[in-house]
């Protein structure tokens, strides 16, 4: 029998894969690399999942995820028809790209940002238009407005910088940009922002959010999008029918019913974020002012051993059980580490370890 490799579409063959943040298999490492929440979701989540993980799991999930959409509309405004639920906000970003960016279409986004955007653009054979952040890592609105853009992707607060853009600026961007504006608010609950009101005003604005960060449910995979019902209906045409498992739906429902737990956890994380930022600054790091559950820190200049490259420090921390995020030799980020906000205890441990490493233990 002839054995020949299968032929893929050319653009797929050329594509590089997305490399997600490392999910280490050893249990004892302190994970401060993928912006998870160190505090548990409300106990009702566990109860509801346990109830759902029984005979009822035989049923296909509710394709409309109605329970989740109803709760979201009560909490955030609008009607259930303003919402669509995804298998993580990653899935919704994918669906949005499929809906609005075909081959050759321009997709604009600040850079650096969430690297997954780039992959999704490739997958659609669309044309990436990365707009460099300014010297202070701020989003430059004027540069982001492009008359031919089909989609503008704005992570707000941005990752890996943690910097947020003001509501006024987003409103201005919404008025000036062409095509669809996606405001990816994965980290919004750690900030004072929120663009849902802007999406209520502008029918071409989509706000995406996730339960992975503030709601402590990364492993459950629930994201959602808010937009004008017509736009939501367009996304519905393309998404997988049964994209969100029943387990995920009940977990999300329980977490939303007990939303105060999320708010309390977010407050704690914000407090720890300020403390970590200050501690790092005392140690000579430059820390951007973050509105997310992580901070981006540039290592002290001229430190022996790691001049302009945070790789050795990243490795040293990892060896000692602390996994943070380093972006390799990526321009503008090679001397930075992104550190997710863990519990106070974890952050104390990290700071101690950092001191030991710097002292050369």
Ligand X SMILES: Cc1ncc(COP(=O)(O)O)c(C=O)c1O
Q: From other proteins, ligand X, none, which one binds at residue 230 (CB under 5 to 8 Å depending on kind)?
A: other proteins
Residues in CB range of 64: below 8 A, 6 or more apart:
none
The answer to whether 110 and 100 have CB atoms below 8 angstroms apart is no
Q: From other proteins, ligand X, none, which one binds at residue 194 (CB under 5 to 8 Å depending on kind)?
A: none
Q: Is 142 in the site for other proteins (CB under 8 A)?
A: no
Q: How far is CA 125 from CA 148, 254, 361, in A?
A: 16, 39, 50
**Among the listed residues 154, 183, 199, 251, the single contact to other proteins using CB under 8 A:** 251
Q: Which residues in 82-111 contact other proteins (CB under 8 A)? A: 87-88, 90-91, 94, 98-102, 105
**Among the listed residues 75, 77, 166, 203, the single contact to other proteins using CB under 8 A:** 203
- Toward other proteins, which CB reaches closer, 97 or 299? 97
- Toward ligand X, which CB reaches closer, 98 or 283? 98
Q: Which residues in 208-227 contact other proteins (CB under 8 A)? A: 212, 216-221
Length of the chain equals 361
CB of 223 to ligand X, least distance (A): 4
Distance CA 213, CA 241 (A): 25
Q: From ligand X, other proteins, none, which one binds at residue 180 (CB under 5 to 8 Å depending on kind)?
A: other proteins
CB of 92 to ligand X, least distance (A): 8
Q: Which residues in 55-94 contact ligand X (CB under 6 A)? A: 88-90
Is 342 in a helix, a strand, or coil? coil
The CA-based angle 251-255-258, given to 5 degrees, is 145
Distance CA 342, CA 340 (A): 6
Burial of 185: CB neighbours in 10 Å, binned 0-12, 13-18, 19+: buried
Q: Which residues in 118-157 contact ligand X (CB under 6 A)? A: 155
Q: Is 228 in the site for other proteins (CB under 8 A)?
A: yes
Residue-wise burial string across 118-130, b where 16 or more C-beta atoms lie within 10 A, e elsewhere: bbbbbbbbbbbbe
- Toward ligand X, which CB reaches closer, 88 or 164? 88
Distance CA 210, CA 165 (A): 19
Q: Is 236 in the site for ligand X (CB under 6 A)?
A: no
- Cis peptide leading into residue 85 (ω within 30°): no
Q: From ligand X, other proteins, none, which one binds at residue 352 (CB under 5 to 8 Å depending on kind)?
A: none
CB of 295 to ligand X, least distance (A): 14
Q: From ligand X, other proteins, none, which one binds at residue 37 (CB under 5 to 8 Å depending on kind)?
A: other proteins
- Toward other proteins, which CB reaches closer, 87 or 298? 87
Distance CA 136, CA 287 (A): 11
Q: Is 168 in the site for other proteins (CB under 8 A)?
A: no
Q: From ligand X, other proteins, none, which one binds at residue 223 (CB under 5 to 8 Å depending on kind)?
A: ligand X
Q: Are strands 180-184 and 149-155 parallel, antiparallel or unpaired?
A: parallel
Angle between helices 229-238 and 88-100 (to 10 degrees): 100
CB of 190 to ligand X, least distance (A): 12
The CA-based angle 274-269-327, given to 5 degrees, is 75
**Among the listed residues 39, 114, 236, 286, the single contact to ligand X using CB under 6 A:** 114
Residues that bind ligand X (CB under 6 A): 35, 88-90, 114, 155, 159, 184, 186, 210, 212, 218, 223
């Amino acid at each position: 029998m002839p054995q020949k490799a299968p032929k893929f579409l050319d653009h797929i063959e050329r594509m590089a894969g997305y490399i997600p943040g490392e999910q280490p298999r050893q249990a004892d490492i302190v994970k401060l690399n993928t912006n998870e929440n160190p505090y548990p979701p409300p106990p009702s989540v566990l109860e509801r999942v346990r109830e759902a993980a029984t005979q009822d799991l035989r049923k296909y999930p509710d394709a409309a995820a109605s329970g989740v959409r109803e709760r979201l509309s009560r909490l955030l405004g609008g009607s259930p028809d303003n919402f669509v639920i995804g298998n993580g906000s990653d899935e919704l970003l994918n669906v949005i790209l499929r809906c609005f960016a075909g081959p050759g279409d321009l997709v604009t986004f600040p850079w650096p940002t969430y690297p997954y955007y780039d992959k999704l653009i490739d997958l659609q054979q669309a044309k990436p238009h990365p707009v460099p952040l300014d010297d202070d890592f701020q989003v430059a609105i004027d540069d982001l407005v492009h008359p031919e853009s089909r989609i503008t992707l704005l992570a707000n607060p941005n990752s890996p910088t943690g910097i947020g853009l003001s509501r006024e600026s987003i409103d201005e961007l919404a008025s000036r940009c062409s095509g669809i504006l996606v405001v990816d608010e994965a980290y919004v609950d750690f900030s004072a922002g929120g663009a849902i009101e802007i999406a209520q005003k502008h029918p071409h604005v989509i706000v995406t959010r996730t339960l992975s960060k503030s709601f402590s449910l990364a492993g459950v995979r629930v994201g959602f999008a808010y937009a004008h019902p017509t736009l939501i209906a367009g996304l519905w045409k393309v998404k997988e029918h049964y994209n969100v498992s029943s387990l995920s739906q009940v977990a999300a429902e329980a977490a939303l019913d007990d939303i105060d737990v999320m708010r309390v956890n977010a407050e704690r994380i914000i407090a720890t974020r300020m403390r970590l930022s200050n501690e790092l600054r005392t140690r000579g790091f430059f820390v951007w002012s973050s509105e997310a559950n992580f901070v981006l820190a540039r290592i002290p200049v001229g430190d022996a051993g790691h001049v302009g490259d945070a790789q050795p420090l990243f490795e040293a921390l990892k060896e000692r059980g602390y996994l943070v995020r380093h972006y390799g030799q990526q321009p503008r980020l090679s001397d930075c580490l992104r550190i997710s906000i863990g519990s106070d205890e974890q952050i104390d441990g990290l700071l101690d370890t950092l001191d030991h490493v710097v002292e050369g233990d």
